[in-house]
Amino acid sequence: MEEQNLAARDLLDATLIKKDYATVLLSVLGDDLEKIKQLSKEKKYGELAYSVDTLIGKRHDALINLIHENLNEIDELATEAQEVLGRE
């Protein structure tokens, strides 16, 4: 039982660290996309900014969806680990 508790604690710690990292990454990516959109709106870089905005936006959306999927999986793992530890 002690080994299960240690394994569950390790899993919980790892998932919480991954979730924090993914949350920060998502925030930074969102900030980058907003900055690109603003430059495009201001037409500071003309057609180039529009092209970059479109290209980055498509990649951004895909990456954000991937991160959200991973966050959901991490939440599930953390919940399972907490149940093993008896901490809900």
Q: What is the distance between the alpha carbons of residues 46 and 29, in angstroms, rounded to a whole number?
A: 22
This prediction has a pTM of: 0.46
What was the pLDDT predicted at 55? 64
The domains of the chain are located at: 2-85
Write the DSSP symbol of residue 44.
Answer: S
CA trace torsion 11, 13, 19, 23 (10° rounding): -170
What was the pLDDT predicted at 73? 79
**Predicted confidence pLDDT, tens digits, the chain (88 residues):** 677 777 777 777 777 777 777 777 777 777 777 777 777 777 766 656 666 766 667 677 777 777 777 778 778 877 887 887 776 4
Q: What is the distance between the alpha carbons of residues 57 and 65, in angstroms, rounded to a whole number?
A: 12
Closest CA relative to residue 73, chosen from 5, 2, 26, 22: 22
Q: Which residue has the tokens 């969806």?
A: 65
